[in-house]
Amino acid sequence: MDQKSLVLVKPDGVRKHLIGEIIARFERRGLKICALKMLVMSKDQAKYHYAEHVDKPFFPELEAFITGGPLVAMVVEGPNAIKAIRTMMGVTDPIESTPGSIRGDFALDKGENVIHGSDSPEAAEREIKNFFTPEEIY
């Protein structure tokens, strides 16, 4: 079953020159990039994207980080794309992520952890709308 996921190369990933590395991993795996753009997230966009975390103590730090520089947003599609991408990403805290995963290879910090990927089809649908119009998704 084909699924779409909203993936972000977060501002730390852009600063670390990891855009190509991350896209290449998805493409080599057989996943399709069907929408792509670079942008600076607004605070409103950040509150919508991280709605489940707005009341958490780390939210101010997260908001400052995620809005603090350009990021790359993309829609990635393929069979079981959501789970496939979450596995390729590693877990939230890179220290616990397996080497070979994106976070396990390229991050050490729980906040600045290089990549976002949707965690469910419902989240993907909601998150994709925050960045792309239907016409921008191929």
Nearest CB to ligand IDP, comparing residues 21 and 119:
119
Query: What is the C-alpha to C-alpha distance for residues 138 and 130, in angstroms, rounded to an integer?
Result: 17
Nearest CB to ligand IDP, comparing residues 58 and 138:
58
Amino acid identity of residue 11, one-letter, is P
Query: What is the C-alpha to C-alpha distance for residues 138 and 135, in angstroms, rounded to an integer?
Result: 7
Nearest CB to ligand IDP, comparing residues 42 and 138:
42
Among this protein's residues, is 116 annotated catalytic?
Answer: yes
Catalytic residue among 17, 49, 53, 116: 116
Residues forming contacts to ligand IDP in the complex (CB under 6 A) are 53, 58, 61-62, 92, 110-111, 113, 116, 119
- Residue 91 CB, shortest distance to ligand IDP, in Å, is 7
Phi then psi for residue 56, to 5 deg, are -75, 150
Catalytic residue numbers read 116
